[in-house]
Amino acid sequence: MKISGFTYIRNGLSYGYPFIPSIKSLLPLVDELVVVVGDSTDGTRAEIENLNNPKIKIIDTIWDDELRANGKIFALQSNIGLDNISGDWAIHLQADEVIHEASQQKFVDAIHKADKLKNIEGLLLPFYHFWGDYQHIRNTRRTHKHEIRAFKTNQFVRSYKDSQGFRKYESQETYDAGEKGSKLKVMEIDVPIFHYSYTRNPKLMKKKSNYFHRFWHNDTWLKEHTAEMDFDFNEVDRLEIFNGSHPLVMQEFIKQKDWDFEYDPTKSNMRVKDKFLNAFERQFGFRPFGYKNYRL
């Protein structure tokens, strides 16, 4: 059985993505790793080349900056990676997602187990969403608690919406026509994804946020909503303390932290409805009415 990995990145250095730690955390799990590199201007491609790993296959792409339909550009990049792998199983990481070395063998073992189960099409992984720094995580109804990050390639699987997850389709034509597809039947495994989307200097975080808003919204919306002030990490519903260890491949990245963050829970912007539902979830360990892009 062959396991392939795929990811995508563009201007990862300019926007503070831990794409090199992400790639390094994925390499031990796969037989090949397809990296889709958008037309970058900051040396991102050279950083990947410098890894000098024979497993890595770089696919060069040019992003359409005017494609502003619900983050579709990200799904397109993900699907280019998916179209260039050759394995029986695919593992996908986004450029700000990292796998802990303590979980790597467990991940591979789970794939081998699931490969023998005809009713299992993919694997569902939990997420640690780091926010503000490397000691706080956001685990609320406004974050995805789990998502598919590995699946069998013996059917037509495409990136769903803005590449958060995946679904299966009858054909490319049905996918292009906008059909919703079918949710994958998955097995949940205890291999957490370390997600570092909101761990940047507030100035860089605002720069990144303003830029990526353009792939969802038009110029009028951008003018009204993208002020130049620093990103405020306290504009959040709820954070928790993270007491675990970070992946070793992230250590040098974490040492470069050049900002301070002090969490102030009194500034919470959690909605009244979510306060009740989050309290219910913490009490009973179940998320009622939660969105699930999979069949468990």
Domain boundaries, the chain: 1-296
Q: How many residues does the chain have?
A: 296
In this prediction, residue 223 carries a pLDDT of 67
Q: What is the mean pLDDT of the chain?
A: 92
The pLDDT of 162-190, averaged and rounded, is 93
pLDDT-based confidence at residue 282 (cuts at 50, 70, 90): confident
pLDDT in tens, 132-156: 999 999 999 889 999 999 999 999 9
> Which has more pLDDT, 271 or 197?
197
Q: Cα–Cα distance between 203 and 27 in angstroms, integer?
A: 31
Give yes or no for a contact between 129 and 195, defined as CB atoms under 8 angstroms apart: yes
In this prediction, residue 68 carries a pLDDT of 65
pLDDT-based confidence at residue 276 (cuts at 50, 70, 90): confident
pLDDT-based confidence at residue 211 (cuts at 50, 70, 90): confident
- Count CB-CB contacts under 10 A for residue 134: 17
In this prediction, residue 217 carries a pLDDT of 67
Q: For 185, which DSSP code?
A: B
Pick the range with the lowest mean pLDDT from 25-34, 56-65, 81-90, 94-103: 56-65
Give the burial string for 26-60 (b: 16+ CB within 10 Å, else e): bbebbebbbbbbbebeeebbebbeeeeeebbbebe
pLDDT exceeds cutoff 80 at 32: yes
Q: How far is CA 19 from the centre of its chain?
A: 11
CATH topology of domain 1-296: Spore Coat Polysaccharide Biosynthesis Protein SpsA; Chain A (3.90.550)
pLDDT-based confidence at residue 225 (cuts at 50, 70, 90): low
Choose the most confident range, by mean pLDDT, from 63-67, 75-79, 285-289: 75-79
pTM reported for the whole predicted model: 0.94
Q: Cα–Cα distance between 61 and 59 in angstroms, integer?
A: 7
